[in-house]
Amino acid sequence: MHNTNLAVENHAHDLGQRFIQLFGGSPRIYQAPGRVNLIGEHTDYNDGFVMPAAIGFCTRVSIAPRHDRKLVIHSENYSEQVEFDLDRLPAARARHWSDYVIGVVQMLVRSGKNLGGANLLVDGNVPLGAGLSSSASIEVAVGYALLDLGDRALDQTELDRTEIERPKDDRTNIDRTKLALLCQQAENEFVGARCGIMDQFVASHGEHGKALLLDCRSLEYRLLPVPGDVALVICNTMVKHSMAKGEYNQRRAECEAGVRGLSKHLPNARALRDVTPEDLEAYGRELPDVVMRRCRHVIGENARVLQAAAALELGDLQAFGNLMRESHRSLRDDFEVSCSELDLMVELAEQAEGVYGTRMTGGGFGGCTIALVQVDCVEAFKRTVQEGYERSTGCKPEIYVCSAADGVGRLA
């Protein structure tokens, strides 16, 4: 998605107008992106490596302080407005979209942050529930907005000014890693979703034109160049099979069983991250076949992520693409989290011109694939995949053409 500065300014203007219509006053506007994982699937909960990039789809939060202690939150996506009293925040989720906002507020309060009342307008174009992490994007946008607004809401002189003067510097002193951890905690503990740190981390730390190699154990990361003439094309199968959650929990248990079995020989192995392919070769035969194959995926995938990072640093997209293919095969055959729709989408993408590599992305059993496609081949790619997928399944896929984008920041 290539936004011109003018388009961004226009959108900021429209959001500002909408905010005034709803609440009056003039807001600051923040945005945080969705993400796609290029390689490194089911490695996060094994303390391993992932390689996400932030994408040009984002959630925008317009915010202005209020004179009282209310939080009034309007979601444009749900055409709905909810109100909370900061002194009587709900202690538990309501299974409502506002959980994602209140979860972040609760974690900020728990961390000692002194929040004042505010009006918030939330408006996102990350497809909801498609696996591009609209959830992390709303959390990180809200968290950043509240932190940047800070205790200033309590300052009457500032409150009474029509426009809050402050440089549009989005590299403020906000600690982006702490922000990501706080948002993950909100999703884990308040929303009640068992997610790793990847989504919130890349929504916080992403950079234009860069993918991120993230060590999920240490949270060390490295930015890697994604060439400008390569598009990140995300193909949505439009299916989500119901066994996804149960299978996910089972995979986690199988990985844990693998560590337990292998640690008889490798006392220092705390997670599959600590096991090398040679270790598995030596001791894997003692594991039940299913557990051995789950371990082989995770251990191989960690190695592939590191090789893929080296390939990007060398600008070797062929090598990168081959690692994506291997990743897909391993997820399909060893980890068994693919499905016929994902396999079909990958096969169709492989037939198109200008494709470096493609694989399923996300937890599996539906959701999206990612393909790295030469920019000038994108239109033909979309046609081939769209037509082929619709012909075989009767279902029209959505295709999102993205490039690596910036993490959270202030827009206006």
Q: Name which position in 26, 77, 263, 307 contacts ligand ADP (CB under 6 A).
A: 77
Using CB under 6 A as the binding rule, whether residue 395 contacts ligand ADP is answered as no
Least distance from ligand ADP to the Cβ atom of residue 77, Å: 4
82: part of which helix (H) or strand (E)? strand 80-85
Phi, psi of 156 (to 5 degrees): -60, -40
- Pattern 128-167, ligand ADP, x by CB under 6 A: xxxxxxxx--x-----------------------------
**How many residues form the binding site for Mg ion (CB under 5 A)?**
2
Using CB under 6 A as the binding rule, whether residue 237 contacts ligand ADP is answered as no
Using CB under 6 A as the binding rule, whether residue 97 contacts ligand ADP is answered as yes
d(CA 149, CA 154): 10
Least distance from ligand ADP to the Cβ atom of residue 124, Å: 3
Query: Which is closer to Mg ion, CB of 34 or CB of 397?
Result: 34
List, in sequence order, the alpha helices (H) in 117-226: 134-149, 156-160, 176-185, 198-205
333 belongs to the catalytic site: no
Q: Name which position in 63, 108, 122, 323 contacts ligand ADP (CB under 6 A).
A: 122
**How many residues form the binding site for ligand ADP (CB under 6 A)?**
17
State the pairing for strand pair 355-361/118-124: unpaired
d(CA 362, CA 370): 10
Using CB under 5 A as the binding rule, whether residue 330 contacts Mg ion is answered as no
Stretch of 4-12, 75-83, 142-150, 275-283 contacting ligand ADP, by CB under 6 A: 75-83
- Nearest Cα neighbor of 39 from 285, 351, 298 is 298
Using CB under 5 A as the binding rule, whether residue 135 contacts Mg ion is answered as yes
Using CB under 5 A as the binding rule, whether residue 59 contacts Mg ion is answered as no
The string of DSSP letters for 209-260 reads TEEEEEETTT--EEEEE--TTEEEEEEEEEEE-TTHHHHHHHHHHHHHHHHH
Phi, psi of 237 (to 5 degrees): -70, -15
> 20 vs 71, 207, 230, 306, CA distance in Å?
16, 31, 39, 48
Strand-pair partners of 221: 214
Least distance from ligand ADP to the Cβ atom of residue 41, Å: 15
Contact between 151 and 114 under an 8 Å Cβ cutoff? The reply is yes
Restricted to residues 74-133, the positions that interact with Mg ion (CB under 5 A) are: 133
Q: Which of 99, 148, 199, 334 is catalytic?
A: 199
Using CB under 5 A as the binding rule, whether residue 200 contacts Mg ion is answered as no
Least distance from Mg ion to the Cβ atom of residue 36, Å: 13
Residues making contact with ligand ADP (CB under 6 A): 59, 75, 77-78, 97, 100, 122, 124, 128-135, 138
* Residues with catalytic roles: 199
